[in-house]
Amino acid sequence: MPYPRERPRRLRGSPAMRRLVGETTLDPHHLVLPMFVREGAVEPRPVPSMPGVVQHSAESVRKAAVEAVEAGVGGLMLFAIPENKDAEGSGGYDPDGALNVAIRDVVSEVGNATVVMADLCLDEFTDHGHCGVLTPDGAVDNDATLEAYRRMAVAQAEAGAHVVGPSGMMDGQVGAVRDALDGAGHAGVAILAYAVKYASAFYGPFRDAVESTLTGDRRTYQQDPANAFEALREVRLDVEEGADMVMVKPALSYLDVVTRIREAVDVPVAAYQVSGEYAMIEAAAANGWIDRERAVEESLVSIRRAGADMILTYWAVEVARRL
């Protein structure tokens, strides 16, 4: 039997060769760090289900933002845990609400050295934990929620956010937010639309992180995990309404969707490596079942390989420093 003339192994023989022919790159600017800020906290509070992740105080979030910038991460996505919640989620659009104060603090600390993003949703601010205003029978009122999102978008822009991220999966949310921003003189604020957000089991630790008070579930507005063509429709609508970037959430269980979206649109595509994905790798590594650093990097490279231009990940600073 003749020896093979084609030997793909020639291109794997050394680290230098593998770098030279590598098809997918992972650089610090591809990473966005989600950060939680707890109103009234005097020191960082660990999130039990997410080892290494904390609810920041006003002081520690400033410090962490500077560290992220020094590591070279591409952006920061801010979430807040308010001391008080109500049925309307009014803290979300209160100029002195927890998230808007956090935006001002972070922007005043890092300015334009990184992209400061803010999650635009009511779930952190409602006492029922849903992403919108409820009707008397307990359903989420889509159009009433859009009015709240308009107010929230303007409040975040006035606090200094460079990007707002409508994440509630309400029909028409991007158009409503774009109109509100433009009408208030904030045409330069970009929208990262959570265009494809599945009703996933992998959000559990996140709800721990934001101290969610959710009753029931979000299946009437978040997407069915069985559907992919529906994702294309959602993205098309968001881009038509003015989304500057679109996101798929979660990431690892939906890499096929990331690829479909990347092929379908000409705007940047993000993917969110969510809390459950993070916690699974951390738990397996803590038990000695996997090589933690290799698993972390492999998971991120897979998301990039699928087509994501940017990745929201809780490992952003750690990985950026290593890179």
Q: Residues of the chain whose pLDDT is less than 50?
A: none
The whole-number pLDDT of residue 75 equals: 98
The beta-strand segments (E) located in 87-203 are 115-120, 163-166, 190-197
The whole-number pLDDT of residue 214 equals: 86
Tens of pLDDT, residues 237-255: 999 999 999 999 999 999 9
Q: Any idea what the Cα angle at residue 296 is, between residues 294 and 298, rounded to 5°?
A: 65
The whole-number pLDDT of residue 3 equals: 85
Tens of pLDDT, residues 66-120: 999 999 999 999 999 999 999 999 999 999 999 999 999 999 999 999 999 999 9
Task: For tokens 């650093």, name the residue.
Answer: 293
Burial class (CB in 10 A: 0-12, 13-18, 19+), 96: exposed
Whether the upstream peptide bond of residue 82 has omega within 30° of 0, thus cis, is: no
Q: Give the whole-angstrom CA distance, residue 138 versus residue 136.
A: 6
Q: Which of 197, 218, 260, 304 is catalytic?
A: 197
At what angle are helices 98-110 and 58-71 packed, to 10 degrees?
A: 40
Could you give the domains of the chain?
Answer: 25-322 (3.20.20.70)
Q: Which of 30, 249, 262, 304 is catalytic?
A: 249
The whole-number pLDDT of residue 59 equals: 97
Judge whether 249 counts as a catalytic residue: yes
| Residue 287 contacts residue 243 (beta carbons within 8 Å) | no
User: What does each C-alpha distance from 129 to 36, 120, 125, 252 come to in angstroms?
Assistant: 17, 14, 7, 25
Judge whether 85 counts as a catalytic residue: no
Q: Characterize the bridge pairing of strands 45-46 and 54-56.
A: antiparallel
Which run of H or E residues covers position 145?
helix 142-159
Report which DSSP code applies to 117. E
The whole-number pLDDT of residue 289 equals: 98
Report which DSSP code applies to 118. E
Which residue, 143, 203, 201, 207, is CA-closest to 175? 143
Write down the pTM of the prediction: 0.95
The whole-number pLDDT of residue 152 equals: 98
Helix (H, G, I), strand (E, B) or coil at 137: coil
